[in-house]
Amino acid sequence: MSTLVHDASAIDFDRPGKHDYQVAFHLDGAWGYSLVPLTVINGKRGRNTNGVLCFGGTHGNEYEGQIAVKQLCNTLDADQISGRVVLIPQLSESACVANTRTSPLDGVNMNRAFPGNPRGTISYRISNFVKSNIFPLGRVVIDVHSGGKEGAFPMCTSFHPIPSAEQRAEIAKVSRLFDTPFAFIYSSAMASGLLTDEAEAEGKITLGGEFGGGETTNRLGVRHAYEGILNVLRHYGHLEGAIRPVRDENAPATKLVKADALNAYVPCPRDGIWEPLVDLGSYISTGELIGRLHDFADHTSPALEIRAGKDGYLLMMHLSARPQKGQTLYVLADEVDWSEVIG
Ligand SMILES: [Zn+2]
């Protein structure tokens, strides 16, 4: 059973063993709480200066991270761990309950709410708790996402362009521990206030990723997230044992790709019914037909052909059949040699 905590500052984060909590954040306009699940493990195998912090459910309608991190709350054994591991499987708990991207309590997207505000609405108070109370507990931060209803992605880990060569190289090495087909360097210009923005800015080894989509549970996505986090724990010595591949041994090596400028994120030119003609993760050449937009107001009208403006790997495509004008329709990313990032 979890211990209910009303005052987060009362949690003893150094207490040896595995301890499960529900941290109560009072609602803004009603009597009641969002009860955010938290598991803190201080391993009995000795000290470890790293510390790994794992988050799922930052977006409520993305399930692979919620499940993988919850499973780790169950399966990790303090006797086998050195140092500290912190697990929060449903960070935006109210959004997770509601199966929505943003919290229904205040309409806020938790992944745009950082660094938070102790006097703000509930999502800002939760993100402020993470920034103030959780981030100081470790130097490795993992936030597991999937496309939600926004977009479809090939399975990938992700990180922003990182100015520090040392931090960038370590993040890139950690990204490979998830053994996904792609590791994706994405644009910092898309938005701010992300959990990963804040952790990266603090110099932490920070990793996001897209492990499924469409409000489903992707079997392989859960596996990559769960086994990948175990590999991170092994890599940093929190767990004993060698790194284990997640895919079978014949799988091609993880490809590093980059779309760090906004012109790679192509908006839909008009409302329409979307007919994709290529697969996620495939290599697309300039001029190649990516899909067609149909307008059923006149069924005799020709479809609008959407052709690639550049070469690249198709790292994201609009998920629903009904993209609206301005929504991101697709992203083409350039391959990057690992040596450019890792050195
Ligand atoms: Zn997400």
Q: Taking the alpha carbons of 310, 312, 313, 315 in that order, is the dihedral positive or negative?
A: negative
241, with CB counted inside 10 A (0-12, 13-18, 19+), is exposed
Mean pLDDT of 185-198: 94
248 CA distance to ligand 1 centroid (A)?
A: 27
Q: How far is the CA of 328 from the centre of ligand 1 (A)?
A: 15
Tell me what pLDDT residue 107 has.
Answer: 98
Q: Rounded to whole angstroms, how far apart are CA atoms 270 and 6?
A: 49
> Ligand 1 mean position to 4 CA, how many Å?
27
pLDDT at site 214: 94
Please, what is the angle between helix 64-75 and helix 219-235, to 10°? 50
- Give the Cα separation of 99 and 303 in Å (integer): 34
The region that residue 231 occupies, defined by phi over 0 for left and psi between -120 and 50 for alpha, beta otherwise, is alpha
Is the confidence at residue 52, as pLDDT, over 90?
yes
pLDDT digits (tens, 9 = 90+) for 93-112: 999 999 999 999 999 999 99
Provide the token pair at 162: 């990182």
pLDDT beyond 90 at 260: yes
User: How many whole angstroms from 259 Cα to the centroid of ligand 1?
Assistant: 18
Cα(144) to centroid(ligand 1), Å: 8
Residue 146 Cα to ligand 1 middle (Å) = 5
User: Could you tell me whether strands 33-42 and 84-88 are parallel, antiparallel, or unpaired per DSSP bridges?
Assistant: antiparallel
Confidence bin at 89 (pLDDT 50/70/90):
very high
pLDDT at position 9, please? Answer: 87
Alpha carbon of 99 to ligand 1 centroid (Å): 12
Task: Report whether pLDDT(228) > 90.
Answer: yes
* Span from the CA of 185 to the centroid of ligand 1 (angstroms): 16
Confidence band of 269 (pLDDT split at 50, 70, 90): very high
Please state, for a pLDDT cut of 90, what percent of the chain lies above it: 97
Taking residues 71-76, report their average pLDDT.
98
Task: Report which of 339, 58, 72 is spatially closest to residue 231, judged by C-alpha positions.
Answer: 72
> How many A from CA of 301 to the centre of ligand 1?
36
Residue-wise pLDDT for 119-158, tens only, equals 999 999 999 999 999 999 999 999 999 998 989 999 999 9
294-309 residue pLDDT tens = 999 999 999 999 999 9
**Strand, coil or helix: what is 251?**
coil
Query: What is the b/e burial string over 248-262, where b = at least 16 CB atoms within 10 angstroms of the residue's CB?
Result: eeeeeebbbbbbeee
- Measured from the Cβ of residue 340, the count of other Cβ atoms closer than 10 Å reads 11
Confidence of residue 252 (pLDDT cuts 50, 70, 90): very high
What spacing in Å lies between the alpha carbon of 209 and ligand 1's midpoint?
Answer: 9
CA of 126 from ligand 1 middle (Å) equals 17
Give the model's pLDDT for residue 176.
98
Contact present, 27 and 105 (Cβ < 8 Å)? yes
Going from the Cα of 150 to the center of ligand 1, the distance in angstroms, rounded, reads 9
Compute, in angstroms, the gap from residue 137 CA to the centroid of ligand 1.
23
State the average pLDDT over residues 55-81: 98
| Cα-to-centroid distance, 56 and ligand 1 (Å) | 9
Report the pLDDT averaged over residues 159-175. Answer: 97
pLDDT single digits (tens) 31-49: 999 999 999 999 999 999 9
Whole-number Å distance between alpha carbons of 254 and 252: 7
Helix 219-235 and helix 165-175, axial crossing angle in degrees, nearest 10:
130
CA of 113 to the centre of ligand 1 (A): 13
Q: How far is the CA of 210 from the centre of ligand 1 (A)?
A: 7
Average pLDDT of the chain? 97
Q: Separation of 101 CA from ligand 1 center, angstroms?
A: 7
Give the pLDDT mean for 265-283: 98
pLDDT for res 1: 87
Ligand 1 midpoint to CA 231 (Å): 22
Mean per-residue pLDDT for 252-257? 97
Query: What distance in angstroms lies between residue 159's CA and the mean position of ligand 1's atoms?
Result: 13
* Distance from the alpha carbon of residue 74 to the mean position of ligand 1, in angstroms: 23
pTM for the model stands at 0.97
pLDDT at 71 (0 to 100):
98
Q: Residue 202 pLDDT > 90, yes or no? A: yes
Q: What is the mean pLDDT of residues 189-212?
A: 96
**3-class secondary-structure state, position 156:** strand
Taking 90 as the threshold, does the pLDDT of residue 201 lie above it? Answer: yes
Q: From the CA of 60, how far away is ligand 1's center (Å)?
A: 8
Ligand 1 centre and the CA of 59: distance in Å?
A: 5
pLDDT the model gives residue 325? 98
Tell me the mean pLDDT in the region 72-99: 98
